[in-house]
Amino acid sequence: MPHRVSVCFALIFGALTLAGAAQAREPDGTLVVTMLGDSLTAGYGLNARDAIPARLQEALIAQGLKVKVRPAGVSGDTSADGLARVDFSVRPDTDLCLVVLGGNDRRQGVEPKMVKANLDGIVAKLKARHIRAMLVGVKAPPAMGADYAREVDAVVPSLGRADDAPAFPDLLGKVALDRSLNQGDGIHPNPQGVRQVVARLAPAVAAALGTTRAGAAKR
């Protein structure tokens, strides 16, 4: 009897989980982008409306997309932290997850092979849930040394090819080198810097959403 009860409970729980996942989809066709990341996606030092997720949503809507960008950033997170929380931080209604992790790994000098393994694990977990990933990288600071920078900066492009995931290797671009576009810490973009970051990022995300929607239509 206890075995039958446990089996019945498992079947009921599974059915409710599947039903919840199905109902979680946006009924009006809105695409959901989740930004799994660190302080850059958490909007450190900024009002929520000036943070990257909010500005990215604005830019995508301006391009004619019906989309919601959901922040899932935690300041200080490394790729290992992201791997530990991806299953509960990325909701089931997500169509595309931007994995914006690795900046803190670089500042801490984490071995590139560990960063690669963690990001690969995140992509694998998302794939298992039928959520497409887009890898977004942050260049290593020059102080880390040329050899380390070259090796760790190659992680996102190589993983993108291996995992068949769109990749955007340099989120900050020239903003990272311009003090006038950063907050006082010289690390996090100010509102003007965010706008420049998003201007480069939005077309790549729109393209990824296009292929994501096309792939879903074929299934």
For residues 23 and 20, what is the distance between their CA atoms, to the nearest angstrom? Answer: 5
Known catalytic membership, residue 188: yes
CA-based Rg of the chain, rounded to a whole angstrom?
19
Known catalytic membership, residue 39: yes
Selecting among 39, 89, 95, 163, the annotated active-site residue is 39
Known catalytic membership, residue 185: yes
Cβ-in-10-Å burial (0-12, 13-18, 19+) of 184 comes to exposed
Instruction: Characterise 29 by phi-psi region: left (phi > 0), alpha (psi -120 to 50), beta (else).
Output: left
* Burial profile 119-139: b = 16 or more Cβ within 10 angstroms, e = fewer: bbbbbebbeeeebbbbbbbbb
Q: Which residues are catalytic?
A: 39, 185, 188
